Amino acid sequence: MSYVKEVHELIDDGLNEETAVQAFQVLTLIFDEEFSIPHLEEFRMELRQWQKHRRKNFRNIIDRFGEKYPFPIELTWRNVKFKPKRVKRCAICSNYYYDVSRNGRKLTCFNNGICEHEYEVRRKRKGPVLEPIYRRRVEEVPLDFSPAKEDARQHALLYETEITAWRNGIGKL
Ligand SMILES: [Zn+2]
């Protein structure tokens, strides 16, 4: 598979494909945790703002991420070129993810192919693929404070699960 340039740069630096892809995915979740912005456009905008006006903080997040996990190479803001425009929302689980595909057409996140598989299953069935989960997240969250809180909690859980799964994975590299 061919990826966006910033992923290939990490592969060239010595990361394997999966780790390079996951690095951007996990970093996206870390930014999500930091900002907690449920709307994709606002989330991207905040990322761009930080990149421009709070550059030091933005870089610090990337550097801390690089130090936190046992990567085989050094990851810092210098080689991890995070691009806010690549951030999207997964069509299945609604989590943010970083679209690493060269054509920018990936629709699901990178949780070990679970969402990708689920998407394929739904696509082959009749009826809408994206509707149910997407609606819940985008429309309900801003309307009512209480579900928003619930959602944040659930999100934190999902985040932890993903980080843990990923950390276990990287332990085996
Ligand atoms: Zn997903």
**What DSSP character marks residue 3?**
B
Confidence of residue 20 (pLDDT cuts 50, 70, 90): very high
Ligand 1 centroid to 170 CA: how many Å?
20
**What DSSP character marks residue 76?**
-
Task: Convert the pLDDT of each residue in 91-117 to its tens digit.
Answer: 999 999 999 999 999 999 988 889 999
Residue 155 to residue 88: CA distance in whole angstroms: 16
Ligand 1 centroid to 114 CA: how many Å?
7
Residue 103 to residue 26: CA distance in whole angstroms: 21
Domain boundaries, the chain: 5-171
Q: How many other C-beta atoms are found inside a 10 Å radius of the C-beta of residue 55?
A: 11
Task: Report which of 104, 103, 75 is spatially closest to residue 87, judged by C-alpha positions.
Answer: 104
Residues that place a CB less than 5 A from ion ligand 1: 90, 92-93, 109, 115
Residue 137 to residue 82: CA distance in whole angstroms: 25
- Contact predicate 137/38, CB 8 Å: yes
pLDDT at position 58 over 60: yes
Ligand 1 centroid to 50 CA: how many Å?
25
Ligand 1 centroid to 148 CA: how many Å?
19
Please report the pLDDT score of residue 142 as a whole number.
42
Residue with tokens 């299953």: 121
Ligand 1 centroid to 108 CA: how many Å?
5
Name the burial class of residue 7, with classes exposed (0-12), middle (13-18) and buried (19+) by CB atoms within 10 angstroms of its CB. buried
Residue 30 to residue 18: CA distance in whole angstroms: 18
Name the burial class of residue 34, with classes exposed (0-12), middle (13-18) and buried (19+) by CB atoms within 10 angstroms of its CB. middle
pLDDT at position 42 over 50: yes
Residue with tokens 């989590």: 95
Higher pLDDT, 170 or 122: 122
